[in-house]
Amino acid sequence: MTTPDPLLQVRDLRVNVGERTVLRSVSLDVNAGSLVVLMGANGSGKSTLGLALAGHPAYHVLGGQALLAGQDLLAMPAHERARAGLFLSFQSPPDVPGVKNNLFIRTALNAQRESRGEQPLDAFDFLTSAKQAAKGLGLPEAMLGRPVNAGFSGGERKRNELLQLSLLQPRLALLDEIDSGMDVDGVRAVVEQVARLRAQGTAFIVVSHYLQMIEQLHPDAVLRLDQGCIAERGDLGLARHIAETGFASRTAPVGA
């Protein structure tokens, strides 16, 4: 029996933001149902990796390759990458004034369903499952009727990301500091949600500095980014070590 190809394959990815090269060379594989934790000092390129893979227009790919289930991510516009199953939980999710949360998520879900040749959900069916999901995440139902992230606290915005993750059920989810701003219950909801989706085969790349959560996530690998390169690859032990000693004491990546 042959090992199946990794769900996500990134090879020598190089990315500029404006004139500045932020990712110098990143290669990594993530298998379906597995979870990779990405750590690194501020400015090391963690968020850039997610935004570049998701297709943010300000992030210019200079070279390299990124395949999601064999599809060339870098050749697709952002919305097609999402439809191919890539989900990015934003570090600072923006608001969309006047657009109700349930309309927003339903529009997204139906766009994805239609691209897969599935029937769109009507408002009623969607609302039923959205209410259920919200309840499971400890979110007040009223949040579905409010405009997307408008007037939401930092923690509420993150919970709203989690709600979208739970309803969109992507193949690959990049969670960029989803724990920041969240209370204890929020972090617990993240852990539960991740476990549930992983069991269904969703792969995760989680950017976090919060060791307690990282431990509960049971990562398959822990990577440390430094100056746009992967400087160290390890397991939970690496995360614990970083939490204890910080980034400053660690060696620069090879060749830097």
Q: What does the binding site for other proteins look like in residue numbers (CB under 8 A)?
A: 54-58, 77-79, 81-83, 87-88, 90, 93-99, 103-105, 107-109, 111-112, 115, 147, 164, 168
Instruction: Assess contact for 204 and 173: CB atoms under 8 A.
Output: yes
Report the C-alpha gap between 141 and 172 in whole angstroms: 27
Q: Which is nearer to other proteins, 105 or 214 (CB)?
A: 105
Q: Which is nearer to other proteins, 206 or 231 (CB)?
A: 206
Provide, rounded to whole angstroms, the least separation between the CB of residue 81 and other proteins.
8
Q: Which is nearer to other proteins, 207 or 221 (CB)?
A: 207
Instruction: Assess contact for 221 and 235: CB atoms under 8 A.
Output: yes
Provide, rounded to whole angstroms, the least separation between the CB of residue 54 and other proteins.
5
Provide, rounded to whole angstroms, the least separation between the CB of residue 57 and other proteins.
4
Instruction: Assess contact for 102 and 133: CB atoms under 8 A.
Output: no
Alpha helices in 137-183 (DSSP H): 154-168
Instruction: Assess contact for 160 and 145: CB atoms under 8 A.
Output: no
Provide, rounded to whole angstroms, the least separation between the CB of residue 169 and other proteins.
12
Report the C-alpha gap between 178 and 85 in whole angstroms: 19
Q: Which is nearer to other proteins, 97 or 138 (CB)?
A: 97
Provide, rounded to whole angstroms, the least separation between the CB of residue 147 and other proteins.
7
Q: Which is nearer to other proteins, 87 or 210 (CB)?
A: 87
Exposed e or buried b per residue across 196-224, where buried means at least 16 C-beta atoms within 10 angstroms of its C-beta = ebbeeebbbbbbbbbbebbebbebbbbbb
